Every structure is written in C-alpha cells, then in structure tokens.
Structure 1
Amino acid sequence: MDSAAVDTFEAGRGRLASLAYRLLGSAADAEDAVQDTFLRWQAADRERIEVPEAWLTKVLTRLCLDRLRSAQARHERAAGAWLPEPLLDGDPMLGPADTFEQRESVSLAVLTLVERLSPNERAVYVLREAFAYSHAEIAAILDVTEAASQQHAHRARTRLADERRSGGAADPAAARRVVEEFLAAATSGRTDRLVALLTDDVTAVSDGAGLARRLLRYRTPERVASFVRAGFKPTPAKRRLAGGPTTMYVARVNGSPAVIAVVGDRVVGAVAFDVGDGKVSALYGIAAARRLTRLDEAWRRHDPGVPVVDAW
C-alpha cells in the first residue's frame, strides 16, 4: 500500500476510533475494530472508492455492529456484567465535544443506556448525534432507507429520554466540590451527610472489581450511602487487595467528575458521578483491571495535582 493510502487512513484514524468507542463502549474493542478496518482498506480496490471517508465509516460501523451482534457480546451484555470502559478527559478516543449532544453521547450514563438499544438504533443515534451525519448518509452506511434511519433515530431518542435522568448540566468546578464533599463524607463515616448529597432517585452501579458475575446495583439514598460507606472504609484487607496504600484524586472521565484510586502509579479503581443541582444522581464504580487499561496508561502521563485522600 502506497504512502498516500496510508496517509488517507491515518488522517481519519482518530474519528474512526471515536466512532468505534461510542458504538462499543470499550477502548480495546474500538482499537481492534479500527485495525480490522485498516486491513480491509489495505486489501480494497481503492481506485474504485470515490469517497474514502464514507467507505471507511461504513466498513468500521459494520464491523462494530457485527461485534455487538456476536454471541459473546450478547451473552456478556445479557448476563448483566457489562459496563463501559472509562476514559480520562483529553483522551482523543473521546472524540468531538463541541456540542452538548457530542459530550453527552460519550458520558458513562449514555454509554450504559444505549446498551438497551438495538444495534441499528445505536448506530443511527451515534452517527446522527455525535457525528452529525445526515439520514441519507446513515442510510447508505447501514443499507437501510432514509425513513428507516429516521425511525431508528426517533426510537433511540425516545428511549434515552425516557430513561435518562439529569439534574442539569453542572459547572465543572461546582461538580468537583460536590464530589470532594462526597468523598470526605464517605471516608469519615458520615453516612447522614452522604444521604444528604444524594438525589431521592439515585442509583449506583459497580462491577465489583470484576469479581462478581453480575453488576452490583443499588437504589435509594440510604442503600447507596451504605454501599459507598462500606466501599470507602479503609481496612487492612482492602489495602492488601489493592496492593498497598491507596491515594485518591478527583479528575474527570468521559466528561464527568470522578474519583481515581491509585496505588503507586497504577490506577486500581474509578468512580464516576452524575452531578446536578448540587447533588449526586448516579455513581459508576469500575475496578476490573480489564476496564482500566487505557485509563491507567493515560494516568501515567497525567499531572494529577494534589490528592484528595492520601495514603488511605
């Protein structure tokens, strides 16, 4: 393959990776899909391809849909063991963030909710909301009619609107203060203060560090506060499990404030928060090593600033 063909692909690699991540919710799977797209680009009769960007987008989207429909993916998602992979803000795989729709489409809340959409609904939603493709372009990518694309988009928006709870877009500085106060209450045992920082319909989801067969889910402020208090209470057993004393920082992942737990220079856990109107409406706890690989790599290049909790 000549250098011009390589350059054409590399010019669009970032956009393809961002699209794949939004469709799959996994950085590792997204990278695999981009590499598979490159192999097809390498083998293609490129002289017959009039618009490389459109061709590459179609191939990548189809590969992602094949992955979503695979028996392994269906089993993992049906078994309730799936959570999206968190990415540190600034990661190029998060892609465009110029509009509210683009930012929301990569939030952990929406990445979790789109699991309930059909693969085609998911693809139309991402292509339309995050990348502003027209329905005519989406129809060509998915080999459906424009009317079908419009119907998929309508159903996706309706389902997400029905299930998406938002307390309003929180100012990053204000959201950080809420998370810092939340962490202080969690590590000090002030359960009453934790409850006061939670909305009445709060939810918490945890992967149980990858040790549970299904995700752990908690609802009501009292149950969530109890779960959080137990999780953040320092014990010798937890230090041994983590591999040493844990330091905690507040950072941003997928556009949301998060607590990052670090042992040495290794990320061992992340808790992302949905914050609005001064309260936490949802928490996403991720500690399974396979979901933290890219976040861990980015963290080593990141200036974390001053820890919020040192030597926990």
Structure 2
Amino acid sequence: MDGHAWLADRFEEHRPHLRSVAYRMLGSLSESEDAVQEAWLRLSRSDAAGIDNLGGWLTTVVSRVCLDTLRSRAARREDPWDVHVPDPVVTGADTADPEQQALLADSVGLALLVVLETLAPAERLAFVLHDMFAVPYEEIAPIVDRSPAAARQLASRARRRVQGGAPVPDGDPVRQREIVDAFLAAARGGDFEGLLALLDPDVVLRVDLGTPSGGGFPLPAGASRAVHGAAAVAGRALTFSRLAPFARPAMVNGAPGAVTAPEGRPVAVMGFTVSGGRIVRLDLLADPERLARLDLAFLDD
C-alpha cells in the first residue's frame, strides 16, 4: 500500500467522528460533509508523518472550518425567514438501531440543535467540543483564540442557554412513539380535543418552509411559522389534516417523528420532542430543496 492510500485509510477511520463533530457544530448535513472534505484536502497537503495525534489534528481542522462557516453565517445573516429547522437525520422507524438512536437523541435532538443555533460561534464550538466530545479546554483555546479560562467561560455560557432552552425528552422511546402516533391519528381524524390532550400547554410548533411560498406546503396565507400554545398548535395541525394520511412513522434525530410523503414524494419531515408525557416541541421541515437532499430511501420499502 502506497503512502497516499495508507493516509486515506487512516482518514476514513476518523470520518464518522469528524462528521459527528461537524454536524453538531453546523446543523447542516451538506456543510458538515464539506467541512470533513476540507479536512481531508488539508491532510493530503500536509506532512502527515509529523502529526503525532491524527484524530486530534483532524478534529481541530474540522472545528476551525466549522467556526469560519458559523462566523460567515452570522456576517451574511443568510437565514432571512423567521424560522429555521436544522437538517434532520431521518431513518425508518422499523429499521433503526435502538442503541444508536438513543445516543443520537441524547446528543443531537432537533430541539437541542435549534438552541445551539442561537449561540455565538465561539460559544457553540466550545460547548460542542467540551460537553459533547470531552475535548479539554486547553485544546479548545487556540481554536477560538482565547485562553483556556476564557474557553471555559464560553462553554459555561452556552451550557446555561442550552439548559434553559432545550427540553429534556422522556426516556421511554416506546411511550414517545405512542404519543406521536396518537397525535398523527388525532390530526387525521380532525380530533381537536384529542390533539389538545397530547400537547403541553406551552408547546411550540416551528415550520421551516425555506422560501416565502414554501414549495406549496399548506400554510395559511400570512400565518406565522412559529406557533405557541396548545390550542394554536392543535388548530394549525388541523390545517395540515389533508396531508396527515400520508405521514409515515420515522426516527428523526433519534426520536419518534414522521415523514409526510403523498405518492412517495416527501413534503415534510416532522420532529417531535416529548417531555413529561406530552409533546412540547414540533419542528417541521418543509423546504423542498433541503428535503430533496435528505436520505429518505426507507420510503421506498
């Protein structure tokens, strides 16, 4: 095996970890792949023989690329619409590995990713690297151009925001699925009271259409894409009732969710957060361009 092939094999060993780091940093599957690919390009141009800790070196490179991307987003204000749902990781409900899904739900539930997107770029990086991947502050500090003490403060501020903003899902996935399935059944049946019984009084629904037109998704003209309160969310769910029969159970970022696909064409991915026995968050992605990039091969089964 020549040196380039050996290096490529070593890189592939680290690719899953690097994808995980980038996805938690960016909440975008395509940008995460770009960050990982950039790490490979930089490695292939480097003197790999002089790298003592390849995994640490690659994690640092990916982190720097992600930090640049986050800062560029903030400068461009590239999300002009009032709601943005991070790219969901979607798998079939019947084929998901329970252990993998539990790990994914614990670390990157959609509700958590939404809160992460409210953090400053350096705060998000410090929190993700330290709290999710146990990277020491001494290694985070040079990436954000701060002292280790300052990196610790960045992560601490982020942690407070996350603890105050991201609901903790219930621990029983079977019960979560029962609640989500009951919600979908109530929506199909136009059962307003049934929907209310499943929703937390302070539930939040967020709908990301991607564009003002939303690719034809049935959002009432002038309606807000962020809805608060059980009655308002139940009412909005009834406006989607004609699509409810086409909702297929799925796992969305490790938690029970659904993909709405009339005639096999995906028009929405729904992520649910169940806490305290009720639905506290619904995150709905209906951006046709982003849906087209998701791996939804299980719909063909």
Give yes or no for TM over 0.5.
yes
Note the C-alpha offset of 1:212: 5.0
Give the match's secondary structure for 1:292: helix
**Who is 2:241 aligned against?**
232
Flag the structure with more relative contact order, 1 or 2, with Cα contacts below 8 A and sequence separation at least 6. Answer: 2
**Who is 1:255 aligned against?**
254
**Who is 1:280 aligned against?**
279
TM-score (norm 1): 0.82
Inter-partner Cα distance in structure 2 for 1:97 and 1:145: 35
**Who is 1:220 aligned against?**
229
Q: How many residues align?
A: 285
Distance 1:81 1:75, change over 3 A: farther
> Is the CA contact (8 Å cut-off) linking 2:102 and 2:254 kept in structure 1?
no
Inter-partner Cα distance in structure 1 for 2:119 and 2:87: 18
> Is the CA contact (8 Å cut-off) linking 2:137 and 2:151 kept in structure 1?
yes
What amino acid is the match of 2:176? A
Distance 1:81 1:180, change over 3 A: closer
Inter-partner Cα distance in structure 2 for 1:67 and 1:215: 28
Distance 1:132 1:293, change over 3 A: farther
**Who is 2:60 aligned against?**
58
**Who is 1:21 aligned against?**
23
> Is the CA contact (8 Å cut-off) linking 1:191 and 1:229 kept in structure 2?
yes
What root-mean-square deviation, in Å, do the aligned CA atoms of Structure 1 and Structure 2 show? 2.7
| Aligned counterpart for 1:152 among listed residues 145, 151, 154 | 154
Give the match's secondary structure for 2:240: helix
Q: Deviations over 1:45-104 (max 9, x none)?
A: 2233222111111111111111111157741246534220111248xxxxx96987x643
Distance 1:219 1:98, change over 3 A: closer
> Is the CA contact (8 Å cut-off) linking 1:205 and 1:216 kept in structure 2?
yes
What amino acid is the match of 2:61? V
Q: Runs of 5+ in structure 2 lacking a partner?
A: 93-98, 215-222
> Is the CA contact (8 Å cut-off) linking 1:202 and 1:281 kept in structure 2?
yes
Note the C-alpha offset of 1:12: 0.6
Distance 1:260 1:98, change over 3 A: closer
Distance 1:47 1:288, change over 3 A: same
**Who is 2:114 aligned against?**
112
Q: How does 1:195-210 map to 2 (within 5 A)?
A: 195-208=196-209, 210=211
Distance 1:51 1:59, change over 3 A: same
Distance 1:99 1:275, change over 3 A: closer
Q: Runs of 5+ in structure 1 lacking a partner?
A: 91-95, 236-245, 304-312
TM-score (norm 2): 0.85
